[in-house]
Amino acid sequence: MTRKYFGTDGIRGRVGVHPITPDFLLRLGWAAGRVFASRGNSLILIGKDTRISGYMCEAVLEAGLSSAGVDVRLLGPMPTPGVAYLTRTLRADAGIVISASHNPYYDNGIKFFDHQGNKLDDEVELAIEAELEKPMLCVDSDRLGKAQRVPDAHGRYIEFCKATVDRGFSLKGLNIVLDCAHGATYDVAPGVFTELGASVDVIAAQPDGLNINDGCGSTQPQALCDRVVSTGADLGIALDGDGDRVIMVDHTGRIIDGDEMLFLIADHRAKQGTLVGGVVGTVMSNLGVERAFKARDIAFHRSLVGDRYVLMALRERGWELGGESSGHLICLDLQTTGDGIVSALQALVPLVRGERTLAECTSEIERIPQVMVNVAVDNPAEAAVLDPVLEAVKKAEAKLGDMGRVLLRPSGTEPVVRVMIEGQDMSEIDTLAHEVADVVRLAVR
């Protein structure tokens, strides 16, 4: 069935514009509470990132849940994977994350986890949408839900992250620049890396409600690159606003994206004999990384873009490791969802164990030049299938032949169409990408 509100990553939009409005979110909390209460469940956690609208969203969701008779535990600012973890360990029936991930502060969104820290099944999302169509009624006063804060939430999550590496694992001697994107990891991430022994230079960890992802974090890492080079650090780590994505920077200032981090982790596990099956990437994964997997006889599968699809492919195959170029990596043996801190630690294991630099560990990967242009449109799904756009894609593919590929896809998290072209000649693919992007812009006027 077609969803009215839920997308590939919960419900997301601009604050003050339906559905991210106080009245709708109040009803959403009530509807979700009704669904979980009808199944005998009565406790839901709420965590959020640092954008200013989180206060409003938290308050109305809490009220809606309480009116449906559900108890609430408030985590405050907490990375998305932290909410997933605490939902499991605090024996909650569901977890809610208030975040728009890597988007600007003026966007926000609502994501749900089930009692095991997994994204909700389609059946549950559709049940919540069905409740949203009904009149909102409040339970009797003696059945209203209660709300409490969880005072040690950060400490619990820090200990979890540290426990994902061996007890003898130490980052002592490593100088790391850590970019927290002024987001949900601003407090917990420095604690994890410092307590594991690293010397940590923390940047973008002073959230004010408006600066989340602004010129920082995994989507805008130039400040991190500059800081690593200027301070002579060994490497840099950049998280995004809600902490489920991560990229790294080597000592020369070169960006190590999710594809290369995925290779680092998988290659080390394969050498240790602990890699289960193969690795899931996406249609956006760099061809050079796929070739590197093939050279090491590591099975590689491409899924659609989105952690929902990566996770689906992993479970279908019984594999544990997958991820996206954006840095959304999933280690199913350790977490149920993408976890930037945990993924960074896993990528650091081969460096520490092999006493090699990040640059040395990634030097064998011959990346194929790749250009991506984002085109802002009102309806990405419709724009991506317009006849002039499809014709422009065919022409670009014909020019590249067997020496490259073209991918045009509507974003599932932003109102943009992404034009990605990969090939041997950087100048050629840059020209082709902008030509296709221009056709998209003209076609939607």
84 and 196 both lie in a single domain: no
- Among candidate residues 42, 53, 101, 326, the one labeled active-site is 101
Q: Are residues 126 and 22 in the same domain?
A: yes
The answer to whether 416 touches 351, Cβ cutoff 8 Å, is no
Residue 155 lies in a domain: no
Task: Give 195-214 pLDDT, tens digit per residue.
Answer: 999 999 999 999 999 999 99
Per-residue confidence (pLDDT) for residue 96, from 0 to 100: 98
* Residues 96 and 34 reside in one and the same domain: yes
According to DSSP, residue 242 is labeled T
Better-scored residue on pLDDT, 31 or 9: 31
Q: Is residue 160 part of a domain?
A: no
CATH number, residue 17: 3.40.120.10
Same domain, 208 and 332: no
Which runs of consecutive H residues, i.e. helices, occur in 13-138? 22-38, 54-67, 80-89, 122-132
What percent of the chain clears pLDDT 70, i.e. is strictly above it? 100
1 confidence band (pLDDT: 50, 70, 90): low
Task: Inform me whether the pLDDT recorded for 3 exceeds 90.
Answer: no
**320 and 218 housed in the same domain:** no
Rounded Cα–Cα distance for residues 219 and 207 (Å): 17
- Asked whether residue 167 is domain-assigned, the answer is no
pLDDT category at 8 given cuts 50, 70, 90 is confident
Q: What is the pLDDT of residue 166?
A: 95
Residues 24, 129 within the same domain: yes
Q: Domain end: 236, 254, 272, which one?
A: 254
34 and 106 share a domain? yes
Asked, for residue 265, whether it belongs to a domain, the answer is yes
Residue that finishes a domain, picked among 321, 348, 367: 367
DSSP H helices in 252-325:
258-272, 287-295, 307-317
Question: 4 versus 20: which is more confidently predicted?
Answer: 20
- The answer to whether position 6 is within a domain reads no
Rounded Cα distance between 346 and 285, Å, is 19
Rounded mean pLDDT of the chain? Answer: 95
Domain check: are 393 and 350 in the same one? Answer: no
Number of domains in the chain: 4
According to DSSP, the residues that pair with 108 across neighbouring strands are 13
Q: Could you confirm whether 326 is annotated as catalytic?
A: no
Strand-pair partners of 372: 420
Average pLDDT over residues 415-428: 94
Residue 402's CATH number = 3.30.310.50
Same domain, 244 and 267: no
pLDDT in tens, 244-253: 999 999 999 9
Regarding whether 92 and 39 lie in a shared domain, the answer is yes
Residue 321: pLDDT above 80?
yes
What are the residues whose beta carbons fall under 8 Å from the beta carbon of 425, sequence distance 6 or more?
Answer: 369
Radius of gyration of the chain (CA): 22
Q: What is the pTM of this model?
A: 0.91
Residue 177: partners with Cβ closer than 8 Å, 6 or more residues away: 200, 201, 203, 224, 227, 228, 231, 233, 235, 236, 237, 249
Same domain membership, residue 214 and residue 100: no
Residue 5 in domain = no
What is the predicted pLDDT for the residue at 324?
Answer: 96
- Residue entry with tokens 């985590």: 75
Q: Is 219 inside any structural domain? A: yes
Answer yes or no: are the C-beta atoms of 285 and 325 closer than 8 Å.
Answer: yes
- Going by pLDDT thresholds of 50, 70 and 90, the confidence category of residue 259 is very high
pLDDT at 267 over 80: yes
Look at residues 115, 150, 185 and tell me which one is the last residue of a structural domain.
Answer: 150
Range of the domain at 403: 370-443
> What pLDDT digit, counting tens, does each position of 31-86 carry?
999 999 988 768 999 999 999 999 999 999 999 999 999 999 999 999 999 999 99
Provide mean pLDDT across the span 419-444. Answer: 94
C-alpha 310/C-alpha 73 separation (Å) is: 30
Residues 27 and 145 in one domain: yes
Asked whether residue 156 is assigned to any structural domain, the reply reads no
